[in-house]
Amino acid sequence: MTQNHRQKSWIRDYQAATGTTYLNARRRQLNWPTLAEVMDEHEMLGNFGIGVFNSPRLAIKQRRAELAVERENLRRHEGLVAETALWL
């Protein structure tokens, strides 16, 4: 039995959304990269996509600060990201 409650919750959500068995949902989940892995691969990925909105008007320090805030927001909403991925 898993001690990772976040993983188990994701598996249950996937199972409910797809109507598949728990075992098949778990197998599918094990093949997906984590949000942290995706964010490591795409350093400009933020809450609203790649880059910062209206970035030409912002100074470099402002862009970096805004991107850091957006990335933190994305990390905090990992469950919503998983739900959206299931929907897609």
Q: Residue 23: its pLDDT value, please?
A: 85
* More confident position, 79 or 61: 61
- CB-based contacts of 9, cutoff 8 Å, min separation 6: 79
Average pLDDT, the chain: 83
Q: How much of the chain exceeds pLDDT 90, in percent?
A: 17
What's the length of the chain? 88
**Residue 40, token pair as written in the block:** 């490591």
β-strands 49-50, 45-46 pairing: antiparallel
- DSSP conformation letters of 9-45: HHHHHHHHHHT--HHHHHHHHHHSPPHHHHHHH-TTE
